[in-house]
Amino acid sequence: MRRESIVFLVLVFLLTCLSLVLIIDAHDKNSVNKNKNTVIWVKKLGLTDLALFSDASYIRHISQSDMFAPFQDNPSSFDIFPTASLVPPTYMRERE
């Protein structure tokens, strides 16, 4: 009769241990070292944007896109590019 509760508690204990191990592992990893080379290129080229989205120019360089551009040219506009809908429009970013 007692078996299932023990199995449950052991399972919860093991999963909690796994989570803790992953969290400790995450704290040990240092992204500053990993990004050392990237920073060298950023300084050398004067880069301002991540190469995350490359389907449209104003998405490729989000921080450099026009402030006053008509809606066809602005993130979150009625747009054919799917990623444009993921980026908040300029006026919202400026307001924050």
Partner 1 sequence: MKNLILRHLNLIDYAIWNLKRNKLKNSLIFFIYTFCIFLVSSVLMFTSSLNREAKEILAHAPDMIVQKVVAGRHDLIEISYLDTLKGIRGISEIKPRLWGYYFEPNLRVNFSLVVPLNEQPEKGSIYIGSGVAKILKKTENDFLPFVKTSKESLLLEIEKVIEFETSLMTNDLIIMNEEDFRNITGMGENKFTDIALFINNKNEIDKIAEKILNSMPNVRVVTKSSILKTYDSLFNWRSSLVFFLISMVLVAFLIVAVDRFISINVDDRNEIGLLKALGWDTSDTIILKSWESVVISSLSFLIGINSAYIHIFLFDARIFKPIIMGWSVLYPHFNLVPNINMWTLITIFAITVLPFILFSIVSVWRLSITEPDVAMR
Residues lying near partner 1 in the complex (CB under 8 A) are found at 1-6, 8-9, 11-12, 15-16, 18-19, 22-23, 25-26, 29-32, 34-35, 37-39, 41-55, 57, 59-60, 62-64, 66-69, 76, 81-88, 92-94, 96
Q: 53, 61 in Cβ contact below 8 A? A: no
Taking the complex as a whole, the smallest distance from the CB of residue 8 to partner 1 amounts, in Å, to 6
Residue 89, SS3?
coil
Task: From 52, 62, 56, select the one nearest 88 (Cα to Cα).
Answer: 62
